[in-house]
Structure 1
């Protein structure tokens, strides 16, 4: 089967932030399905599509491998990450208790600077959703969940995020690619933050679990 065309619109990259610009355009291609899960990255074709040199492309590809969006397979090159159903469920099972812990810690001071930071991250995410830019919505979606972890005032959670964050990134990329529903996205994240603000421990625990589990269940239904 021939490889699908990857348009990656935006013209030749000429800015001083070339690597990040290339990385952003590849992320957009992942979210729109131009680059499919499991697909092998062909450097020559991709460099031509992006209008960049292969060394520049390789730097961006390695950045995305580090993030978990791409995987480097020994002797087979770089491929788009293709998490299995079991892996997606595993990520959800790991996230639920840790994100619940973060949310409960934030709820101790609903009017404090930490919750202000979470509200700000929510506002940034909602603004990105409003622009209709899928890539910005994806980036701010991850940013909101990272803010919940970072602002919970737990050194342990901050240390764990880099380990879990790459897998969360992949899971949310799959979610965005198969289920693009901005209104639902906004509704769910407003509700998540509101429940944390209200401070009821049982409600927070249930909401975080529902938020994460429902997302992975819907993704798996669409993938099967």
Structure 2
């Protein structure tokens, strides 16, 4: 993960979204509940990559002890969506080029293999709906809709393997990928090709051409890695 530079996207006061839910009487009293609130705020973009998470401010806003908050930080740290920097504090993670390369390396092993699994009745319907949603969002030039449909499509591809452990692994990778996209410009032209390619891969798989769909997905992920890395902000020396 990149190191956050001093003064960069830091927030030591009350945090939008996280505080709102606390003010509405939905205080979190366990580490897992606090982790869920912070995870949602990070994934929704309310807490941006590089934002500092103040233990004092968050503890007061959520009405929890520092020990409870640290339990939440430990859970989110294991998911690699926050990072603790010695002598500086806890920050929302900023995935580096190397992190992105590893994410795609895992995905190139995981996703094409899932397309080769035996199909079950009903497997195609959720995938078809995710494709439909992505294409509809593409036609509206709606970045958030394209991104959400794309995440859902790839999660459903991995779900074809029928493994809760692989599903959990993919969820963690997608959470990190969301951090990457939050740090990039929201340009419809960047996201639109993914919706189109998802539709093409689904069409091949749905026609019983699983091996060809898997090969196409492998090429897609290689190209996507190149595109994402090219669009990421340049890394500073020593970060």
TM-score (norm 1): 0.69
Query: Aligned pair in 2 of structure 1 residues 79, 69: CA closer, same or farther (>3 Å)?
Result: same
Alpha-carbon spacing, 1:55–1:120, altered in 2? closer, same or farther (3 Å): farther
TM-superposed deviation, 1:44 = 4.2
1:128 shift after superposition: 7.1
Secondary structure in structure 2 of the residue aligned to 1:178? coil
Offset of 1:113 from its aligned partner?
Answer: 1.0
- Against the structure 1 CA distance between its residues 17 and 159, is the aligned structure 2 distance closer, same or farther, given a 3 Å change threshold? same
Match of 1:160 among 166, 169, 181: 166
Instruction: Please report how far the alpha carbon of residue 40 of structure 1 lies from its aligned counterpart in structure 2 after TM superposition.
Output: 3.5
Cα deviation code 1:2-60 (max 9, x no counterpart): 35476736972226486545542332236xxx6234x5423445678xx5445599376
The within-5 A match list for 1:1-224 is 1-4=6-9, 8=16, 12-13=20-21, 14=24, 16=26, 19=34, 20-29=36-45, 35-37=48-50, 39-44=51-56, 52-53=62-63, 55=65, 58=69, 61=73, 64-73=76-85, 76-105=88-117, 112-123=121-132, 132=142, 134=144, 138=147, 140-153=149-162, 155=163, 158-180=164-186, 181=188, 182-223=191-232, 224=234
Structure exhibiting the larger radius of gyration computed from Cα positions? 2
Is the alpha carbon distance of 1:28 and 1:168 closer, same or farther for their aligned partners in structure 2, counting shifts above 3 Å?
A: closer
Deviation, structure 1 residue 170: 0.6
TM-score, L = length of structure 2 = 0.66
Structure 2: where are the runs of 5+ without partners? Answer: 1-5, 29-33, 235-239
User: Which residue of structure 1 aligns with residue 3 of structure 2?
Assistant: none
Q: Which runs of 5+ in 1 are unaligned?
A: none
Q: Secondary structure at the match of 1:36?
A: coil
| CA drift at 1:89 | 1.3
